[in-house]
Amino acid sequence: MRIAVISDVHANLVALEAVLAHAGEVDAFWNIGDCVGYGPQPAECVSRLREAGAAWVAGNHERAATGAISTDEFNPSAAAAALWTRGRLSGEEKAFLDELPETETRGDFTLVHGTLRWPIWEYLDDYDTARAHLALLKTRYSFVGHTHVPALVTERLDAPEGCEMRRLRDGETVDLGSERLVLNPGSVGQPRDGDKRAAYGILDTDAATFTLRRVEYDIAATQRLMVDAGLPEWLIERLEIGR
Ligand code: ZN
């Protein structure tokens, strides 16, 4: 099976369409959360991924978009965008988002937006968090999102930290062996690793590999829609610097 693994689309339909075209024929889509929030086309992104039959776990932005959680913990731009997003989704779409689980298991893989300790909120970006996540992981591999930075964690019980962590670059292929791994495909719609191109990954279960990919999209087109929607300026600017 060839599976496109995407995360943090953030209502950026232009980026999502570029990723879907770039991925080509796949057998499945796995969406690691935050399909909405920040960007200008939340309803369109939700429909596109429902149409694709994506496996889908909830992120903090799905929960904020439906009102299931408050935006008190969000920074001011994110809160403004979340409130704007609420007004753009139908009751049926919000009900769909509210039904999304916080974790999903697909074969050897567990999908969760943040970490297994705190599924929609925690950033898996240091050793302590990685160890806590691995301690709760019941499958060999897992996919997380939320940080918007493509990354790989390899469990190494003999290492002082208990694991190794590093970023993943465009085109890099990870072999899935006997070690337990955490993979982060980065963000489709709002990359934050200094590379403004959309990020996603291809999981090939026959070859037992995961390949990180980056794809250019028309950033200016998304920015124009955000200006028209009156979304916060920083959210518009950050797309072109990838931060
Ligand atoms: Zn996000």
The DSSP secondary structure of 85-123, one letter per residue, reads HHTTS-HHHHHHHHH--SEEEETTEEEESS-SSSTTT--
The partner residues of 210 in beta bridges, in order of sequence, read 174, 203
Distance (angstroms) between ligand 1 centre and the Cα of 61 equals 7
Distance (angstroms) between ligand 1 centre and the Cα of 15 equals 14
DSSP code, position 13: H
Distance (angstroms) between ligand 1 centre and the Cα of 174 equals 23
Distance (angstroms) between ligand 1 centre and the Cα of 142 equals 17
Distance (angstroms) between ligand 1 centre and the Cα of 85 equals 14
pLDDT of residue 141: 98
Q: Could you tell me the residue ranges of all domains in the chain?
A: 2-240
Distance (angstroms) between ligand 1 centre and the Cα of 160 equals 30
User: Side chain identity at 100, as an amino acid letter?
Assistant: L
pLDDT of residue 73: 86
CA angle 78, 67, 198 (to 5 degrees): 40
Distance (angstroms) between ligand 1 centre and the Cα of 140 equals 24
Do 243 and 46 form a contact (C-beta atoms < 8 A)?
no
C-alpha to C-alpha distance for 38 and 183, rounded to whole angstroms: 24
- Please list the pLDDT of the chain residue by residue as tens digits (243 residues): 999 999 999 999 999 999 999 999 999 999 999 999 999 999 999 999 999 999 999 999 999 999 999 998 899 999 999 999 999 999 999 999 999 999 999 999 999 999 999 999 999 999 999 999 999 999 999 999 999 999 999 999 999 999 999 999 999 999 999 999 999 999 999 999 999 999 999 999 999 999 999 999 999 999 999 999 999 999 999 999 999
Specify the fold of 2-240: Purple Acid Phosphatase; chain A, domain 2 (3.60.21)
C-alpha gyration radius of the chain = 17
Distance (angstroms) between ligand 1 centre and the Cα of 159 equals 30
pLDDT of residue 229: 97
